[in-house]
Chain A
Amino acid sequence: MRSFGITRHAGSVVGIVMLLGLAAVPFVCGRYTTFITAQMLAFLYIALALELSHTFGRVLSFCIGSFFALGAYSVYYICQKLSSELAVMLMGSLAVTAIAGALTAILVVRMKGAHSAVVGTLAIGAISLLLANSLTDYTGGEDGLTLRHGITLLGWTSEIGVNMATYYLALVPATLYLLAYLLLRPTPFGVVMRAVGENDLRSEQLGFNVEVRRIVIFAVSAAISGFGGAMYCVLIGHISTALFDPMVSLNSVLWATVGGLGSPFGALIGTLVIYPSIELASGAIRYVDALVGALLIGTALLFPRGVMGLIERYAESAAPPQDVHVLEAVDTPILSASTGDSK
């Protein structure tokens, strides 16, 4: 018997409440808070992309930040050379990063073992930074490029920077993605994707083309990250090769891990917890990067399932016994790697 009690979806409920809070920010907060929140929303896409590639593609991608940077540069050049229509800029950026993601994925998914794939993505991230720094005529190097260009949004005049239109343009796609993820997860499509993520061998035996699916997942995650980069460029109006720094990817690992890998709401919660904390801490602590490292180590040691794990544990303890039983069943992997049992 299945329970649809609120405790089963406690993490998602917390995530939805947070999304509602984000939607209210421009109305209840000052300009600076709105600016910081908008910037955080752009970075949220890297965490969402990382979670996607990790959960369904079994790759903890340390080059996910490179797609973010590529998305930002794509928007810059589309705006300068092709079109100043925001929809075209964003769609173009999605296409560029999806293609780049697919090409990268062809290499990454063929690397045997999760560890070699991680090392592979780290190498790709480092190479992309070196390449970006050597192509200063196009990337502007560490000094970067400033986007000061009149833009339109579906024909209406808009502008580069944080404003009502660009803020919601950053928030709404993330919200739709999270809701779609939630709705698709229990469907046959979602179950197959989870199966591919959890046990490639068994999935192949069941007749699913694992490699193609993983390439598609990696390409989609690259496009999601690229969309974040595109929005970053639109919101901030300045991009530089610093966006290619592997630290950007490492930060997304921190956000997703603290929130809880395995759930897109984990990425959301992690970003919403960590990003403002770091921002506040930077006023008091000089070397904030050390704090980032300490948080990552602390989370790995104390809360391996992140904030989502804590919420679920709390929900489990609060739920009636039958709910606990159902929760355990739901959390059991679709295809257990150790036993090979299918569900």
Chain B
Amino acid sequence: MICSKMNPTRRSVLKGVAGAGLLAATSSRVFAAADASNPILLGIQGDLTGALAHDGLWEARAAKAAAEWHNKRGGIAGRAIKVVAVDTETKTDVGIRRLQQLIQEDRCDFVIGSGSGGIGVASVPIAKDAGVVYMPLSRTDSITTEAANPLLFRFVANSSIAAKASQQWMVDKIGKKWSIVLSDIAFGHSQREAFTAALESVGGHVVQAIALPPNVSDPLPFLLKMDRSVDGILTALWGPDSVRVYPALVTAGVGAKSKFAVSSTTNLFDVLKMGKSVEGLYAFDEVPWELVDYPNAELTKTAFAEIGIGPSGRSLEGDDYVMLPSAIICWEYVSFMKRAIEGSGWTLRNDGLKLSSWVAANPVMPTGELFLRPDLTVRPQDQQAFADSYILQLQNGRMRVVNRIPASETMYPAKVTITR
């Protein structure tokens, strides 16, 4: 009976082959899937509430989307990426506590840092001491100057990059005489110092700088001191203050002239909904807002769709504004983890220096679905990344690219050289 059952027929052989094929296919899928039992832990030091809540929302959303996208494709070196997000409440003391939580309690090996300058500055030494790779969204210069270290990689443009990228264009297209309106925080002062030096290097000059207290309820008394003879007004504002400052500039009678907003702060509020008070405003940004303005729009579609951004650069769900640079850069941070971990053979927290050395030897990120910005390069001396940057202008309710600045023109001399 048993023997008769074992006699192979053509049909049973075909069934067997089909079954084996199915098994092989299933097996290959199993092997291709990321190993979830030994994940790589990525912490998000997110500003989920407080002044930078909108930034934090898109930061967490993009990092999670990128991790899921990579996990579906086998993860990183066969290991799944597990994302742990915490809320800094956009407060420095809470941000430090949450970073300690990510490092000590959640055992994260990589952390995407807060967009707040204060939290960023305070977090860098903590992450360094713990041997954790820290990738901040804060733009304060000192993070990649005095605080630079082998475990710190920054893909967002700092004040020096923004100033270097914009200086010539500002003088050529708008004028030589500038006024700066800044929030009285490290980011604001960092912008003031960088732009003052940059403008002077190309024949322009800053005639006054008006510092506003963060979360100022009425900026008008400060803005009335504005020198009306200036050619342009540079703003470096704490996000939520922008919605009060631009209308106040118009009220003060100085807003009719061309203005210039810097370093992606135009993404921190819904600038497109502000109407005539901002029409014609220029903005420096690391990324274009609309999909069609991306040099590799076809490949950028994936990240936009996975994160939940529509072709116009606004949220797919509802008509909400998006903190585009943070979202795109968080996507690229996860891609960077994949490239650097697989390239360097990083397996544990102790391998941080090995990872840093590999990146120093392979500083150019290949443009594509993983790295959306062309010519993205991590400078080995301070591990600050440089990429093409853009001057955008608000035209009829749309933020369009008016000038592209090549990465090579944004590169300022390194102020430190880290030792590995």
Contact = CB atoms under 8 A, between A and B. Distances in A.
B185 A141 contact: yes
Interface in A129-162: 130, 133-134, 136, 140-144, 146, 148, 161
A143 B96 contact: no
B266 interface: no
A206 to B, nearest CB: 45
Interface stretch (B100-108, B160-168, B367-375): B100-108
A236 interface: yes
Contact of B186 (A130, A141, A238, A243): A141
| Among A143, A237, A238: residue with most chain B CB under 10 A | A143
A309 B186 CA distance: 46
A150 to B, nearest CB: 13
Interface in A42-84: none
Interface stretch (B61-69, B85-93, B257-265): B85-93
B380 interface: no
Contacts of B185: 136, 141-143
A242 interface: yes
Majority-rule SS of B interface residues: helix
A141 B117 CA distance: 11
A143 B125 contact: no
Contacts of A287: 49
| Among A146, A161, A242: residue with most chain B CB under 10 A | A146
Contacts of A2: none
B121 A133 contact: no
B97 interface: yes
Contacts of A30: 104-105
Contacts of A134: 184, 213
Contacts of A32: 100-101, 104-105
Given A136-B184, A136-B189, A282-B87, A144 B92 contact: yes
Interface string A278-309: 00001100111000000000000000000000
B182 to A, nearest CB: 11
B122 interface: yes
B210 to A, nearest CB: 14
A238 B123 CA distance: 9
B49 A286 contact: yes
A31 B101 CA distance: 10
A243 B93 contact: yes
| Among A30, A39, A141, A236: residue with most chain B CB under 10 A | A141
Interface residues on A, range: 20 to 34
Given A237-B125, A238-B122, A143 B140 contact: yes
A229 to B, nearest CB: 12
A257 interface: no
A31 B106 CA distance: 12
A291 B119 CA distance: 24
Contacts, number: 75
B100 to A, nearest CB: 5
Nearest to B140: A143
Nearest to B119: A143
B388 to A, nearest CB: 29
B48 A144 contact: no
Contacts of B187: 143
A31 B103 CA distance: 10
B214 interface: yes
Interface in B165-193: 184-187, 189
A244 interface: no
A30 B87 CA distance: 21
Nearest to A237: B125
Nearest to A288: B89
Interface string B187-210: 101000000000000000000000
A144 B213 contact: no
B150 interface: no
Given A30-B104, A136-B184, A237-B125, A143 B93 contact: no
B118 interface: yes
B184 A240 contact: no
Contacts of B116: 143
Nearest to A146: B122
A148 B101 CA distance: 21
A36 interface: yes
A136 B101 CA distance: 29
A283 B89 CA distance: 12
Contacts of B93: 236, 238, 240, 242-243
Given A32-B104, A143-B117, A282-B87, A133 B92 contact: no
A130 B104 CA distance: 35
A286 B214 CA distance: 23
A250 to B, nearest CB: 14
B118 A142 contact: yes
Contacts of B96: 236, 238
B125 A35 contact: no
Nearest to B105: A32
A148 B125 contact: yes
A238 B105 contact: no
Interface in A192-243: 236-238, 240, 242-243
A160 to B, nearest CB: 9
17 contacts: A31-B104, A133-B213, A140-B118, A141-B118, A142-B214, A143-B92, A143-B118, A143-B121, A143-B140, A144-B118, A144-B121, A146-B122, A236-B96, A238-B93, A240-B118, A286-B87, A288-B89
Which 3 A-B residue pairings sit nearest by Cβ, starting from the closest? Answer: A143-B118, A143-B186, A32-B104
